[in-house]
């Protein structure tokens, strides 16, 4: 049916919705009912209950549930401004600017805004591996450099946030080697997330701000 019409069979759609519903139930804040639910035997021998069927589907498809805690709201008074820049010193239209000029303007901005003799330059980048199933992250600067795998089903955004968090942790071990630090990342989403002043942010972004 999928091959002919492009639509999944109704039974497969019901299974997907059931698994998604169960995952949502596991993430209800301050509710332990579904997390500690006991799968008791049922009197009905011809039909499984919701929990029995979902457990069967997850076991068959090897789906491992690891619900992450929901993002907690923080006190606006505790929010501190993180200095972030997304633009070059010279106003340009990216689509109308050549690659060589963009590289030149990028280097000019880096060295003018953050002189190497006063700032420690740290470069972070992420790449997708094995058909976008895995992601790897790399960090480079003079005091240290490292590469890490982010595990299965991770994406570039996960990697960009993790590079910032790992960099900040490593910097705490080399505090005698710098006075000012700038981290260069090519992910606008990661920069905005780490520098966010919203009261609700991800755990990873919260960790980064705490380390800063």
In tens, the pLDDT along 66-91 reads 766 666 666 666 777 778 888 888 88
Burial of 141: CB neighbours in 10 Å, binned 0-12, 13-18, 19+: buried
Please name the helix (run of DSSP H) or strand (run of DSSP E) that holds residue 92, with its range, or none.
Answer: none
Query: What six digits make up the tokens of 177?
Result: 């080697």
- Final residue before a domain boundary, out of 61, 90, 108: 61
Dihedrals φ, ψ of 79, to 5°?
Answer: -75, 125
pLDDT exceeding 70 applies to what percent of the chain? 81
The structural domain count of the chain equals: 2
Let me know whether 88 and 164 are in one domain. yes
**pLDDT over threshold 90, residue 203:** no
* Residue 177 lies inside a defined structural domain of this protein: yes
Q: Compute the distance between CA of residue 208 and CA of residue 212 in angstroms, rounded to an integer.
A: 6
Residues 137-187: tens digit of each pLDDT? 889 998 888 888 877 767 778 888 888 889 999 888 888 888 889 999 888
* Residue 71 lies inside a defined structural domain of this protein: no
């Amino acid at each position: 049916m999928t091959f002919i019409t492009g639509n999944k069979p109704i039974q497969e759609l019901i299974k997907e919705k059931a698994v998604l519903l169960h995952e949502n139930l596991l993430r209800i804040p301050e509710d332990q009912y579904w997390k500690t639910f006991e799968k008791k035997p049922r009197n009905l021998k011809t039909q499984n209950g919701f929990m029995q069927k979902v457990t069967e589907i997850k076991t068959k498809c090897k789906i491992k549930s690891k619900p992450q805690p929901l993002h907690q709201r923080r006190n606006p008074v505790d929010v501190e401004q993180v200095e972030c820049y997304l633009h070059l010193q010279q106003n340009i239209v990216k689509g109308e600017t050549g690659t060589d000029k963009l590289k030149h303007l990028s280097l000019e901005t880096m060295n003018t805004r953050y002189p190497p003799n006063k700032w420690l330059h740290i470069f972070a980048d992420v790449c997708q591996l094995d058909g976008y199933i895995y992601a790897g992250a790399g960090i480079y600067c003079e005091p240290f450099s490292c590469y890490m795998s982010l595990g299965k089903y991770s994406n570039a955004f996960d990697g960009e946030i993790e590079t910032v968090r790992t960099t900040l942790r490593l910097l705490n071990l080399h505090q005698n080697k710098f006075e000012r630090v700038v981290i260069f990342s090519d992910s606008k989403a990661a920069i905005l997330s780490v520098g966010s002043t919203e009261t609700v942010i991800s755990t990873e972004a919260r960790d980064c701000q705490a380390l800063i």
